[in-house]
Amino acid sequence: MKDQDVNDIEVKGAVIDRPLKVNDPVAFMKDNVYYQGKIEKITKEGNYELKLYNSGQNDLKTLTVPKGEKLEPLFIIDKKDKMVYLKYSYEEVKAALSNKNDIKVKLPDNKNYFMALMLGNKTDVISIEKNIDGNLKPVEGRLQMKRMTENKLPYLSADVKFKELNLDRPIYGKVLDQAQKDQLQKTGELGLVEGFKTAEGKEFKLWVSLDKDLNKVVTARENQIYVGKIFGVVPNEKQIQELKSGQGTVLEIKGKNYLIQPSAAVKDADGIKSYSEAKAKELKLIPEIEEEKKNSKTKGVRVS
């Protein structure tokens, strides 16, 4: 694979040519600790006062960044002059792609995967080289930016494609029962599954899905997919349970019905799949949306 200079990758809108201002989302790195937040105030001296919402120091809620220190914008300005929020800065993704010790990749020119990585999304299944047993070997897989749990430092992750699907393979030590295997084969979704354990024996839950393009079962942490509010709509308790079960639920969004399913296999960072009424019926994911609404005593609440 020919080496790629990530400096040659053009990402439109990634270079912010205006001064940072109040409410801009930014990232800051100091002493190998990562901070993420928004600018609450710019002092007369030119210092930035940040309100933190993701930090390598969980107890720290605010931070003052002195004038002259570099803040990385966590947004781009699109062609309509609107702000698009990012999970990873341009410099973070560029640095991750430049580090070829674990993953080496030449991003396809006809796909805007650099932008997908900045948004926290997964790429399609592409050809990469992955460090396996100390050597870079050609494989196929999806790329996604992630952060280390302790210090929130970013890194490039690769989910490698298996040669064939094997539903008997344990997931974090847990073996799926036959009903779960059947549901995965039928719908591709198990929802939020209990019974996983850490090495210390602490139980936790995972969203479990089937990624057919990777020939494998994939998972997401419970807090990675938020179902308390979806596209501005707050589901009722019945709908939340349907979302967690993997079957999905019908929500009325901006006057139209959509089938919503949480999924660890979806490429978007929010982990939400949505189908229009017509598409949901075509795929036979639900019997009849109108019947579903008729049987539901309460609807999701629209929150502006």
pLDDT at 114 over 50: yes
pLDDT at 80 over 90: no
Check whether 5 has a pLDDT greater than 80: no
Give 218-248 pLDDT, tens digit per residue. 999 999 999 999 999 999 999 999 999 998 9
pLDDT tens-digit map of 26-64: 999 888 888 999 999 999 999 999 999 877 666 789 999
Alpha helices in the chain (DSSP H): 90-98, 113-118, 178-187, 237-245, 277-282, 289-295
For residue 85, the model assigns a pLDDT of 93
* Statement: residue 154 has pLDDT above 70: yes
- Collapse the DSSP code of 300 into the 3-class scheme (helix H, G, I; strand E, B; otherwise coil) and give the result: coil
Q: Choose among 112, 110, 144, 116: nearest CA to 128.
A: 144
Q: Categorize the per-residue pLDDT at 13 as very low, low, confident or very high, splitting at 50, 70 and 90.
A: low
d(CA 53, CA 62) in angstroms, rounded, equals: 9
Amino acid 15: pLDDT: 67
C-alpha–C-alpha distance, residues 86 and 251, integer Å: 27
CA angle, 180 then 222 then 214, to 5°: 55
Closest CA to 280 of 244, 298, 253, 299: 253
Mean pLDDT of the chain: 88
% the chain with pLDDT above 70: 88
Residue 9 above 70 pLDDT? no
d(CA 130, CA 136): 5
Per-residue tokens: 272: 């939400």
Is residue 152 scored above 70 in pLDDT? Answer: yes
The residue ranges of DSSP E strands in the chain, in sequence order, are: 25-30, 33-42, 48-55, 62-65, 72-73, 75-77, 83-85, 103-104, 126-132, 135-147, 154-160, 189-197, 203-211, 216-221, 233-234, 249-253, 256-262, 272-276, 301-302
The pLDDT confidence band at residue 67, using thresholds 50, 70 and 90, is very high
Which one, of 30, 32, 19, lies nearest residue 64 by Cα? 30
